[in-house]
Amino acid sequence: MIADIVQLNDIRQKEVETVKTYFKMFSNVINKIKIVTDEKVLDALVTGLYMRTPFWKDVQNSQPKTYSQLVNLVQRKIRSEETIENREKAERERGDRYRRRGDTHLNPVLAGSRRNTPQGHGTTTTEGSTKRRWFLPPS
């Protein structure tokens, strides 16, 4: 079955859907349409974007004149989403590694723990201030 422009206009980005997922779905329908103008595709893609996102605002501010200009914006957004996703994944893996190995001295979350203090030093907090206290190292 060949899709028509009505199906293209029915595609909407969901609130939790990434630009990459939305654009992939949109592109699949475009490939099934025989004849469609650049203007109609551009209008359908912009209209289908979820409005409460920074990307939607970027598209509105840049006002792309052609479909290829909009595709460039979409590709930059996709790269940005993937970079953020990869960074978050690496941070999660790093956190898992700290917990598995017990490397609390490298973990910024546990930076204030007693294991991070030099041998013979400790810290105490009183009334919002931190004071050093001395103690003998374990023998």
Q: What is the CATH number of the domain that holds 45?
A: 1.10.1200
In tens, the pLDDT along 8-52 reads 888 899 988 888 999 899 888 888 887 778 888 888 888 888 888
Give the rounded percent of residues in the chain with a pLDDT score beyond 70: 66
Instruction: Flag whether pLDDT at 77 surpasses 70.
Output: yes
Query: What confidence category does residue 101 fall into, taking pLDDT thresholds of 50, 70 and 90?
Result: low
pTM: 0.56
Q: Name 133's bridge partners.
A: 122
Q: Based on the domain organization, do 83 and 20 belong to the same domain?
A: yes
Number of domains comprising the chain: 2
- Are residues 28 and 48 located together in one domain of the fold? yes
Residues 81 and 24: beta-carbon distance below 8 Å: no
| Look-up of token digits 């023998």 | 139
Q: Residue 124 forms beta bridges with which residues?
A: 131
pLDDT at site 1: 45
Tokens coding 78: 């996709």
Based on the fold, state whether residues 14 and 55 are members of the same structural domain: yes
- 115: containing domain: 108-139
Q: How far is CA 108 from CA 32, 45, 99, 113, in A?
A: 51, 43, 12, 10
Quick one: 97 and 122 in the same domain? no
Q: Are residues 96 and 120 in the same domain?
A: no
Same domain membership, residue 85 and residue 17: yes
